[in-house]
Chain A
Amino acid sequence: MAHNTPHNTPLPRLLLISSGKEAPLTGTPLLKQLQLLPRLMPCMIQIREKELDAKQLFQLALMAAEIAREKEVRILINERADIALAAVLHGVHLPEKSCPPDKLRAVAPELIIGCSVHSPLSARIAEERGADYLLFGPVFDTPSKRKYGPPQGVDKLGALCRSTSLPVFAVGGITPQNIPSCMKQGAYGAAGISIFEPGSGFVATFEQFYNTLYQ
């Protein structure tokens, strides 16, 4: 099933989430990732940097948007729709307990709005309030999420996908090898954080994800 952005272009199936380790201003992993992105492979990048203040996020967002201009990447920022608008990004990703998506849509109709959800109930609320996509996880075991308990697993991913007509991105321990099991459960796309560390293997990993998602 095809899903579109508010601009009526297809919603990419691959979502990269930033490391949370961006230093203010210089040499950040996010900017390296953006530079390395293959030109013709659409994806989304979510800026998720809880340690940065609004001014630093704005500066990072402006730099990211500049690099992204010649690529097929949609840049979203975590929670801060105002920074998305000010830096002319493509969208905002809302953690649970954010400002309701319909209230943001009313003042920012041009933004893609994604919502993190952890249950079919919150998926239903996000859908009723006009989200464009959902992010669900952690589906598989991942070191960064162990403190929150065991992973949700592919069955719960499937239950969530069946509870909504919105595109669902699976996150948490996703690899090119387990993407097919997520898509079989109805996932529209996949998201990753640490697997997309911008080193020598970045482009190969990105292409593996991309080709698996679009085959």
Chain B
Amino acid sequence: MPSSPFLCVITDEAVCPISLAEKALHGGAAMIQLRHKTASGSQLFSWGVEITRRCRAYGALCIINDRIDIALACKADGVHLGQQDLPASAARKLLGNSRIIGVSASSPEEAIQAERDGADYIGFGHIYPTLSKEKGFDPVGPETLRRVSALVSLPIIAIGGISKSNASLVIGHGAAGIAVISAVSRAVDPVSSVQELLCSLQQGGIDG
């Protein structure tokens, strides 16, 4: 895992994932998650190959959402699994110990289960209201994040409505990193939005 605090940029279905990844890496993101629910397997594979190659060049990690087969085929660094995806325990058998497995959690129970199942990190959220994904529940808030970070020893990536104005606060509440979609993908200048987020993250230990 990247050293804390770090930034993960998740691809946006409305934006070309390769150019987004390139900009995010250029700005200093340590992790790119390729997430596209409607693309074909062949398209995902090609994107996965390209983004993995770019991540290597920048010393960053490429994580594929849901599709362990694609992650294996394109030699990505790992997978990110939602609660409706394959269980982390099954994924571990396919990926071995050298590949990273992240699991989405939105409650302390799911986070604890993810740790038991052998995940390497927990994507926890959504912390704040977000427009990027349709959510069936209220934001969990930074206090729940603090509670979960005390309950599990895995690094937590906070997700959902994170911006440069609250990034330092979530790091102060125990997150090892943050994940964003629209804060970068829909920014007028994605490279500087990444740089600004990283700048805010660095202040997490101070005023968080």
Point out residues on A near B: beta carbons under 8 Å.
53-56, 58, 79-83, 85-86, 94-95, 97-100, 103-104, 106-108
CA distance A86 to B81 in the complex (A): 14
The residue from B42, B66, B90, B94 contacting A99, defined by CB atoms under 8 A apart: B42
Asked whether B72 lies within 8 Å of A107 as measured between CB atoms, the reply is yes
Query: Closest A-chain residue to B94, C-beta based?
Result: A85
The 9 closest A-B pairs by CB, nearest first: A82-B68, A97-B40, A82-B69, A81-B69, A98-B41, A103-B73, A107-B72, A53-B84, A86-B90
- Are B86 and A106 in contact, CB atoms less than 8 angstroms apart? no
A81 to chain B: closest residue by CB: B69
B41 touches A99 (CB 8 A): yes
Q: Quick one: closest A residue to B48, CB to CB?
A: A99
Complex contact A99–B45 (CB within 8 A): yes
| Number of A-B pairs, beta carbon distance below 8 Å | 65
A106, B73: Cβ atoms under 8 Å? yes
Docked Cα-Cα span, A60 to B69, in Å, equals: 18
Interface size class of B (residues with CB under 8 A): 20 to 34
In angstroms, Cα B39 to Cα A97, docked, is 10
Chain A CB count within 10 A is highest, among B69, B73, B93, for B69
| SS of A interface (majority) | helix
Which residue of chain A has the shortest Cβ distance to B40 in the bound complex? A97
Residues of chain A within 8 A of B98, CB atoms compared: none
B70 within 8 A of A: yes
Min CB distance B161 to A, Å, is: 25
Once bound together, how far apart are the Cα atoms of A54 and B87, in whole Å?
9
The answer on a CB contact under 8 Å between A86 and B73 is: no
Tell me the nearest residue of chain A to B95, going by C-beta.
A82
Q: How far is the CB of A210 from chain B (nearest CB, A)?
A: 31
Which residues B76-129 have CB closer than 8 A to chain A?
83-87, 90-91, 93-94
Most buried by B among A56, A82, A97: A82
Assuming A85-B94, A86-B93, A94-B41, is B87 touching A99 (CB within 8 A)? no
Contacting residues, chain A, for B3 (C-beta < 8 A): none
Q: Do the beta carbons of B45 and A100 come within 8 Å of each other?
A: yes
With a CB–CB cut-off of 8 A, which chain B residues contact A108?
69, 72
Which residues from B are CB-within-8-Å of A80?
67, 69
Tell me, in angstroms, the Cα distance from A124 to B83 when the chains sit together.
39
Contact B84 A55 (CB under 8 A): yes
Closest residue on chain B to residue A97 by CB atoms: B40
Q: Which A residue's beta carbon lies closest to that of B75?
A: A107
Select which of A53, A95, A99 is within 8 A of B69 by beta carbon: A99
Q: Mark B39-75, 1 if CB is under 8 A from A, else 0.
A: 0111111000000000000000000001111101110
**Apart from A55-B83, A79-B41, what are 20 other A-B pairs with CB-CB below 8 Å?**
A54-B86, A55-B84, A55-B85, A80-B67, A82-B69, A82-B72, A82-B94, A85-B69, A85-B94, A86-B68, A95-B41, A97-B41, A98-B42, A99-B42, A100-B45, A100-B73, A103-B74, A107-B69, A107-B72, A107-B73
Report how far A80 CA is from B85 CA in the complex, Å.
12
Q: Are A82 and B41 in contact (CB under 8 A)?
A: no
Q: Are A54's CB and B94's CB within 8 A? A: no
